[in-house]
Chain A
Amino acid sequence: MNEPGATSGAFWYLIRRSARNRLRRQGARLRQPRYAAAFALGLLYFWFFFLRSNRSGALGPEAQGALLGLFGVLVLSYLAWSWLFGTDRTALAFTRAEVALLFPAPVTRRQLILFKLARTQFGILFSVVIWSVILNRAGDPLASLMRGAGLWMALTTLSLHRLGIGLLRAGVEEHGAAGARRSVPAMVVFAAASLAVGWTIRSHWDWVSNAEEPAAAIRALLAIVDLPPASWILYPIKVAFQPVVLRDVGPWFAAAAQAMLLLSLHVWWVLGSDAAFEEAAAEASERQAKWIAQRRARRGGGAMVKAGSTRRTIPLGAKGAPATAIVWKNILWLVRTNQLRGILIPPALILIATLVFGTRDKMGLMFGVVSGVFAAMFLLFGPATMRNDLRSDLLNLPMLKTLPIPGRALVTAQVLSGAIAIAVPQLLLVGNAFVALTLEPGASRVPPDVMLGVLLGSVPLLFALNAANFTVHNGVALLFPAWVKLGERGTTGIEATGQMMMTTLATLLSLAVLLLLPAITGAIGFLIFRSTNGTAILVAASAAGLVLAGETWLMLGALGTAFEKVEPTQVAN
């Protein structure tokens, strides 16, 4: 075994160099204009929304108490859940590289735990800095320092407690029944504590139920948890979080001393553990790696395939246009990630509401408008949430490039994958609007020819708008792959926010330019047939849709050529 000093030196080297290399890599990327611009835009965004305001951050005594009560209940619920059900196993997680290199290395378990604690501190300190800056709107450096130190103590204690639970549960698995017996007292204590808090709340529940407004109900709930025995049970949690909210120097120091004592007890508890946690930690590490992949997928607009989802499929014949296979593959992805079901829920709910309440006065009109608003929302936000197209598939570019499909056909198939999927709920909503307006009784009823014009005209217009919208999104991904989050891959943090803002602006601008000619054509069509409202709407919508479809077709041709020329090295972020 190595000397303790040599091991801790190696660990410190690993932490230090990892942090330095990460910062250097991010700094080097900022030399590229696209990342620098995205970073600047992201900073501007954070400054505008979080730092610009000059409101005072000081809390009154009542608010401090309320906040502590809230912290107390939330943290106790979380800890009780962790103790009783052991779901918080990620506390033991190391990275895959750490498991591969450090676990077989000649280091003690205690050294591994110390390394884990040291590495966790980076995340905690980063959170402390960010929150101290965000919360320090009054610009008081002393208050900021006190809040920062308080946050550090609270978060470190919480982190140690999570780690302690993880180690204890690993020990249970190691020692079997004997281990389980050892953890029983702790579990009983937490179960009893949770029951006592629950009993306190239940005994005074009338305070909450008699409250006249939600804010009063919350105040009543917080007042209840300030009563014994709940207040005794929540005391340690209050001790941990008190320095976060206190502003006066004297009371803050007294609270900080108690919080430090609590933190020290946790250090003693965790470092005293003799659990063989390696196997549990390796499992937790794998779980965490998957969780990170899922989180990134969601952030990138992607989604993970659900277990057992292969039962649902769509048949695909061997004959027909080859590019159809791309649409099939992409739609199947929506099915297996439950995204298709997700986008069908709003129209289904609105339809039910329409059928139940639509015959009441003005309700049909309201549901008609709501359906139209939702259809428009799908149009605007659909491509941002549904990325079953090139924005995911560009990561498979080497494979796509080997397929015997012309570039235009391939890009068109990718665009149609999203456009068709979004059109389904939109058409349901349009149909629902028609039903709702038909159900509307009396004078509020919209003339039938107008309803028919909107219903028929919206079909070509929505298809063309969807296709154009998805074409622009796919075009941005294809022409500027480094600016768009592709699948799970991409930048994070401030740069990611800036990139998202830039691509949104570019997309909106492109769409505005694209819509100019169709809007003029539609207006001319409407003016020519303005004497008959329904026909005018139908002609205007159809003409605009046709022109927009033509523009989109030209764009798809250009993007097809771009696809044939793009190389995998250009796509790599």
Chain B
Amino acid sequence: MISVDQLTKRYGAFTAVDGISFSVAPGEVLGLVGPNGAGKTTTLRCLSGIIAPSTGRVAIAGHDLQTDGVKAKHALAFIPDEPHLFEHLTVEEHLRFVARIYGVADVEERIGPVLDELELGDKRRSLPDELSRGMKQKLAIACGLLHSPQALVLDEPLTGLDPSGMRRMRATIAARARAGTAVILSSHLLTLVEELCTKLFVIRHGKCVAYGPLSEIVSTRPELAGRPLEDIFLALTGEGEHPVPA
């Protein structure tokens, strides 16, 4: 469903992402993790068509993002960590806008359930300026989910959400995956990653340092067996080499 082959992104002499490859099948949830500046956001931006790869190939639902971008994007939803909303469109109008763009014919039937799912039902006529940070995030998520994408890319989806919103969001991601959506989830919340992801892609300095189901990753590093994900993450990324101040 999502296929990434030898993806590289360079900015001048700096290589942000260096020849990474992975794939996410329908129903799988890939956790993209790595320290700050590792290349996660650049990877996600390449996957969603915001920036073009320097070399390599990204395909969504079998469509090459570079040569068949419209069809590839039609199958995809990207939910960024910072919601980008139109200041003059209400919550409901954002959804109608998205429905027209993605050709969601049964928009009338979908709007209500999506707004209820994200607890935005009583904010239908509110402008983004009248929403809290968490509600804006929920609206961005609602826009992403409305057209039932085959591939879902989420960058820190829980940012700004309250505990109830976080729980609902976790349930939503799990439900979408069960329904056959291929999900890529980037987050620093390792408990979220551990709970939802079927496999991990650990990135550092733009390169892959580990990829596969957690059990497979641990099997290549027996000393990590039985350790919490945080320890595994720190060991894989080399972040654990720095002593923690007492």
Contacts and interface: CB of A to CB of B under 8 A. Distances in A.
A398 B50 contact: yes
Nearest to A399: B84
Interface in A393-438: 396-399, 401-406
Contacts of A397: 50
A348 to B, nearest CB: 24
A309 B87 CA distance: 12
A329 B84 contact: no
Interface in A541-568: 564-565, 567-568
B207 to A, nearest CB: 22
A305 B88 contact: yes
Interface stretch (A28-36, A330-338, A351-359, A471-479): A330-338
Interface stretch (A86-94, A148-156, A316-324): A316-324
A313 B48 contact: no
A397 to B, nearest CB: 8
B71 A318 contact: no
A333 B52 contact: no
Contacts of A569: 11
A402 B70 CA distance: 9
A310 interface: yes
B51 A329 contact: no
A568 B97 contact: no
A317 B105 CA distance: 9
A45 interface: no
Nearest to B71: A404
B103 A316 contact: no
B214 interface: no
B73 A404 contact: yes
B100 to A, nearest CB: 4
A299 to B, nearest CB: 17
A259 B74 CA distance: 70
Contacts of B97: 316, 325, 328-329
Main SS class of interface, A: helix
Contacts of A404: 69-74, 101-102
Contacts, number: 89
B168 interface: no
Contacts of B87: 305
Size category of the B interface is 35 or more
Contacts of A313: 93
Contacts of B107: 318
B103 A318 contact: yes
B103 A568 contact: no
A329 B127 contact: no
Interface string B107-123: 10000000000000000
Contacts of B78: 402
Contacts of B45: 398, 568
Interface string A35-48: 00000000000000
B89 A405 contact: no
Contacts of A405: 70, 101
Interface string B195-221: 000000000000000000000000000
Contacts of A322: 100-103
B73 A318 contact: no
B101 A319 contact: no
B200 to A, nearest CB: 25
A310 B100 contact: no
Contacts of B86: 329, 333, 396
Nearest to A320: B100
Contacts of B127: 305, 310
Interface string B27-52: 00000000000000000010011111
B244 to A, nearest CB: 27
A318 B96 contact: yes
B105 A329 contact: no
Interface in A3-24: none
A149 B10 CA distance: 56
Contacts of A324: 100
Nearest to A336: B88
A170 to B, nearest CB: 27
Nearest to A403: B101
B49 A318 contact: no
B2 interface: no
Contact of B49 (A305, A320, A333, A402): A402
B232 interface: no
A396 B84 contact: yes
Nearest to B128: A305
A398 B90 contact: no
Interface string A283-316: 0000000000000000000000100011001001
Contact of A316 (B100, B102, B106, B125): B100
B104 interface: yes
B80 interface: yes
B99 interface: yes
A567 B157 CA distance: 23
A475 B22 CA distance: 37
B76 interface: yes
A309 B45 CA distance: 34
Contacts of B90: 310
Given A316-B96, A325-B100, A402 B76 contact: yes
Contacts of B125: 310
Contacts of B102: 322, 404
Nearest to B74: A404
A176 B74 CA distance: 60
B84 A333 contact: no
A337 B100 contact: no
Given A310-B127, A402-B78, A567-B51, A325 B88 contact: no
Contacts of B129: 305
Nearest to B126: A310
Given A318-B107, A399-B80, A565-B52, 11 more contacts: A305-B129, A318-B99, A318-B100, A318-B103, A328-B97, A332-B88, A401-B49, A403-B101, A404-B72, A404-B73, A568-B50
Query: Which 5 pairs between the two chains have the least Cβ-Cβ distance?
Result: A404-B73, A325-B100, A399-B84, A404-B74, A318-B107
8 contacts: A316-B97, A318-B104, A318-B106, A399-B80, A401-B51, A402-B48, A402-B49, A565-B52
